[in-house]
Amino acid sequence: MCGILLTVGEAFRRDFDAALGALGTRGPDARETLAHGAALLGHARLAVIDIDGGRQPMTTTDGRLAMVYNGEIYNFAELRRELEAAGRAFATRSDSEVLLAGYLHWGQAVLEKLDGMFAFAIHDRADGSIFLARDRLGIKPLFWGVHGQGFVAASTLEPFFALAAFPKRLDAEGLRDYLAFQTPLAPRTLVRGIHALPPGACLTWRVGADATVRQWWTIPDAGEAAPRHEALVAETDALLAQAIEDQLVADVPLGAFLSGGIDSSLVVHYMAQAGARPIRTFSVRFAEAGFDESPAARAVAEKYGTEHHVLDAPQLGADALAAALADLDQPLADPAYVPTWALSKLTRKHVTVALSGDGGDELFGGYPRFLDSADRYPDSAARRALRMMLRHGLAPGSLTRRALAGAELLLYRRVELGDYPGSRKDLRAYLAPDVARAAHPESTLQLWRDLAARHGSYDRGALLRADLWTYLSENCLAKTDRASMAHGLEVRVPLLANALQERMLRLPASVHFDAGGGKAILRALARKHLPEAVWNREKHGFSVPLRTNFAGPWHDWGDAQVAAAATRAPWLAAGALAALWREARLGRGNVRLMYTFAVLLSWLETHPLEPT
């Protein structure tokens, strides 16, 4: 696991070392640079496999290709054997060398052979071309930008801010997505001209030509009949066991996040089944009963005899909040980021790699919102009449929600702010008029609409699939990546292994739902393998109590962010923001939206942006 940087262009050479240094926590074990034709490649390494031999940047034996790579390829041993049979020789035991040799042998088709998490950049000295790729579901991040005749690619946005020659201007559409979904959605970022490579995508570029982005992998539609529930549970049991066994490969100490929920508890079960010893587990204990899962985590730790470590959430005061947010390369307003950051800090004191249960809810239908579908909200004559009145200004915008039906109501429920004039979700109410126009509020939900339409309609299956390249990739996985890599901790997500993706996504979404709700397959496995304390209780989210914190330990911090808004973000509507904070500081109102603005203002303190 590492931080990678690649630049082409004289304008970026002077600041290259500083830009690579911005990735230092992602790769604390080594930092190396290679001049390769017109390109500079930099690598900050967290050594996990072949500690002595897997150094980067890595070149082919003839020197034509140079690569920087971040991730883990779990089937690299199998690919190595295939390449050796084709006559390729290897000098190291690393997955990095297998990836580079595979690209040399198969070209871009190597992507279809990789089972793992990855983001990499390859420079071809012969023709000056660049090739970038990101894994199927965006477990690992990758950003890129073109300026003048130059090109930059990096693991995070942070190196771009260290490059003086790269402009830093607000991207209004990226801001729109952030305020709507608490995170920018690929390909947008908060900075105009810097793009997130989408999940499952690759890019080619050379001087004098436009960058070309294509999807090398697309989310499959359901095309197979559902097997008997018992048979599918048994099949998934075997797939999970194999995925977790595959992801235990490491030359460094390894552990697991253990929240006490079904997903992370099953990961620990399969680690024990695979013979992992010792098993070190890590969890957070909250004082508030509605947030605390530590008793269930303790029951799992006791069953499997793990070496269990617990972090008390009362330690997550304003200082911890500020430190956690300082490690974000762009704003992310999921409150779960803060305890994940603190948990990663604790975990890194004991291990270098941790397995996580991320992806279980998205792939196995675990969120309550998946119980929704467009047909649950039928249209009516009254709703149609109210919509007509709203369009002609004959009814107040506050009635917007009552006027919506079907897919439009589903989408309304999904966003925090959007194209809903006069309603409590009106994006325009919080932005200066010129920025609001540039943000194109009418396009807020376009990516969701496109993804749902691609998979048929707004039924459970379409909504589940749309989440994979939005909420999962750009929120959940981004949260875990930034929180863990801030401390040089590699986190693996075995519930998103290729074999599990391919099997679950080929089946109708109905296999995940029964009378007990969603995640029927994993609940069945939990009843089979785990203590009752894990599966016989209501689902908990992993987050922090915002109302309690805004009215208590985060009160002064929130005051400071709002007070600085006029200078850091003059394009925000000061009156609307102040009104939002007056309620939130008392533990009332829309505290989630207030947290979204506070995180943005905190980030802008160290990442100032010119107006759009």
Domain 229-368+461-535: which CATH class?
Answer: alpha beta
CA–CA dist 565, 603 (Å, integer): 11
Place of tokens 């119980």: 371
Calculate mean pLDDT across residues 402-410: 90
Query: Residues 151-181: pLDDT tens digits?
Result: 999 999 999 999 999 999 999 999 999 999 9
Biggest CA pair distance of the chain = 75
How high is the pLDDT of residue 289? 54
Domain with CATH 3.40.50.620 in the chain: 229-368+461-535
**What is the crossing angle of helices 76-85 and 95-106, to 10°?**
50
Query: Residues 347-389: pLDDT tens digits?
Result: 999 999 999 999 999 999 998 888 877 888 899 999 999 989 9
Look up the CATH number of domain 2-215: 3.60.20.10
- What one-character-per-residue DSSP string does 316-369 give? -SHHHHHHHHHT-SS----TTHHHHHHHHHHHHTT-SEEE--TTHHHHTT-SGG
Domain with CATH 3.60.20.10 in the chain: 2-215
Helix ranges (H only) for 426-531 are: 433-439, 446-454, 460-467, 477-485, 498-505, 520-529
| Whole-number average pLDDT of the chain | 93
How high is the pLDDT of residue 458? 81
Query: Residues 515-564: pLDDT tens digits?
Result: 888 999 999 999 999 999 898 877 655 567 899 899 999 999 999 999 99
Residue 199: asked if its preceding bond is cis (omega within 30°), the reply is no
pLDDT band at 291 (very low <50, low <70, confident <90, very high): low
pLDDT above 90: residue 452: no
pLDDT above 70: residue 338: yes
CA–CA dist 407, 411 (Å, integer): 6
Query: Residues 91-135: pLDDT tens digits?
Result: 999 999 999 999 999 999 999 999 999 999 999 999 999 999 999
Calculate mean pLDDT across residues 280-305: 83
Residue 545: asked if its preceding bond is cis (omega within 30°), the reply is no
Contact 70, 116 (CB under 8 A): no
Helix ranges (H only) for 460-588 are: 460-467, 477-485, 498-505, 520-529, 532-535, 546-550, 555-563, 565-568, 574-584
Calculate mean pLDDT across residues 310-316: 77
pLDDT above 60: residue 290: no
Query: Two tokens at 65?
Result: 């290709």
How high is the pLDDT of residue 52? 76
- What one-character-per-residue DSSP string does 443-455 give? GTTHHHHHHHHHT
Query: Residues 507-516: pLDDT tens digits?
Result: 999 999 998 8
How high is the pLDDT of residue 241? 98
- When mean pLDDT is compared across 304-313, 330-339, 416-425, the lowest value belongs to 304-313
Q: HEC string of 179-220?
A: HHHCCCCCCCCCECCEEECCCCEEEEECCCCCCEEEECCCCC
- When mean pLDDT is compared across 337-351, 444-458, 520-534, 570-584, the lowest value belongs to 444-458
How high is the pLDDT of residue 456? 79
Percent of the chain clearing pLDDT 90 (strictly above): 80
Contact 435, 571 (CB under 8 A): yes
Query: Residues 462-499: pLDDT tens digits?
Result: 889 999 999 999 999 999 999 999 999 999 999 999 99
Query: Two tokens at 163?
Result: 């490059």
Calculate mean pLDDT across residues 216-239: 95
How high is the pLDDT of residue 432? 96
Query: Two tokens at 229?
Result: 């529930």
DSSP tag of 476 = I
Convert 245-270 to b/e letters by CB count within 10 Å (16 or more is b).
bbbbbeeeebbbbbbbbbbbbbbbbb
E strand or H helix at 294: helix 294-304
- When mean pLDDT is compared across 439-448, 531-540, 591-600, the lowest value belongs to 531-540
Calculate mean pLDDT across residues 322-341: 95
How high is the pLDDT of residue 460? 87
Query: Residues 411-421: pLDDT tens digits?
Result: 899 899 999 99
